[in-house]
Amino acid sequence: MHTVYWEDGKVKMIDQRLLPAEFTIAEFDSVEGVARSIREMYVRGAPAIGAAAAYAMALAGFHSQATDRESLLADLRAAKATLDAARPTAVNLAWATARLLEVIEQSALTDMDAIRTALLAEAEALANEDVEINRRMGYHGAAVIPDGANVIHHCNTGGLATVDFGTALGVIFACHEQGKKIHVWVDETRPRLQGARLTAWELMQAKIPMHLIADNAAGYLMYSGKVDAVLFGADRVAANGDVANKIGTYKLAVVAQENGIPVYCVAPTSTVDLSLESGDQIPIEERGPEEVTQIGDRPIAPEGVPVYNPAFDITPHRYLTGIVTEEGVCYPPFTQSLRDAVTLGQTHMEERRQARHIGEGA
């Protein structure tokens, strides 16, 4: 099933805060509600929050009281600002809201109902394309993972972090589908435990061999020759290939290089931000102290302890063997290979849009 979807005029999503203990669908019928769901991480993972925000832009259209195109566009711009502010690091959020806004700005539509229909159609297209893109990315990535590999994976990059199938975990699913024997070391991923709660849950459902490990075990496993490749996703990739991803990614990549282990980031071209030259320009989200001082609701640190909780880190491009995208695997120099992949990604997105319009007209 899709992690986030539109039904009965509402945005519905798997409440990831409750997994694996409870599987619950949460629903939101306002832009503010969806922005809160992103901030509070009911929905998380760069592509999944992009899709949620795209559906929220459709909600903005349906709830707008505007009676003319310019007023409706003003409401959409306000919705975009609210949604983009929900989480700062994953660029897919602002990419998705920009895509929804642009589809109306670039059209000549003036009828309110036609604009609303076009917004929802674009959100649905974005969500469906995410699944198709992830599958392509998964198979490009699987080509660089040998049969019998022991792979270490950070955070959650599976179906839950996307609309379906996943990015780095998608590569693992693709290897499994191809019959490759693969074993996954699953980083628990403190502080929010996306690895322990979500990745372990997804891999167990898919019956893929795995072991959950404490984050601090990763270095020892690499040193001991128990890891053949490192796989992770991205929340934003700068033009030079520097990657912002879940806190702890940098440490993994450095230790992998020290031990001669290949490191692959897996991310769709919508996660590449060519407007930023390097990772130093990527905003890093800081989250609340309770994520560090508590496990679930249980306190594990003295009350009032000062906490610093950056949610992401930057892995400089020199630690990456390759960046897997839906357009193929990018290799150094990333400045050129990423630009080529993004250009191809945009061309393919435009082709899919044209095909949809021909289909609608037929």
> Is 29 an active-site residue?
no
Closer residue to ligand MRU in complex, CB, 42/55: 42
CB of 219 to ligand MRU, least distance (A): 19
CB of 194 to ligand MRU, least distance (A): 5
Which residue has the closest beta carbon to ligand MRU? 233
Chain residues in the site for ligand MRU (CB under 6 A): 44-47, 90, 155, 157, 161-162, 167, 194, 232-235, 245-246, 311
Choose among 240, 261, 235, 215: nearest CA to 316.
240
If you search the block for the tokens 């602002």, which residue do you land on? 94
CB of 234 to ligand MRU, least distance (A): 6
Instruction: Strand 229-232: give its sheet, edge to edge.
Output: 210-213, 183-187, 150-153, 229-232, 263-266, 322-325, 328-330
Closer residue to ligand MRU in complex, CB, 145/324: 324
User: How many residues does this entry show for the chain?
Assistant: 362
CB of 82 to ligand MRU, least distance (A): 18
CB of 83 to ligand MRU, least distance (A): 15
Closer residue to ligand MRU in complex, CB, 90/145: 90
Closer residue to ligand MRU in complex, CB, 28/312: 312
CB of 334 to ligand MRU, least distance (A): 18
3-state secondary structure the chain: CCCEEEECCEEEEECCCCCCCCCCEEEECCHHHHHHHHHCCCCCCHHHHHHHHHHHHHHHHHHCCCCCHHHHHHHHHHHHHHHHCCCCCCHHHHHHHHHHHHHHHCCCCCCHHHHHHHHHHHHHHHHHHHHHHHHHHHHHHHCCCCCCCEEEECCCCCHHHCCCCCCHHHHHHHHHHCCCCCEEEEECCCCCCHHHHHHHHHHHHCCCCEEEECHHHHHHHHHCCCCCEEEECCCEEECCCCEEEECCHHHHHHHHHHCCCCEEEECCHHHEECCCCCHHHCCCCECCCHHHHEECCEECCCCCCCCCCECEEEECHHHCCEEEECCEEECCCHHHHHHHHHHHHHHHHHHHHHHHHHHHHC
Catalytic residue among 235, 242, 273, 313: 235
Closer residue to ligand MRU in complex, CB, 80/287: 287
Closer residue to ligand MRU in complex, CB, 86/104: 86
d(Cα 319, Cα 263) in Å, to the nearest integer?
A: 7
CB of 244 to ligand MRU, least distance (A): 8
Closer residue to ligand MRU in complex, CB, 90/126: 90
Task: Tell me the sheet residues that pair with 311.
Answer: none
Hey, which residues are catalytic here?
A: 235
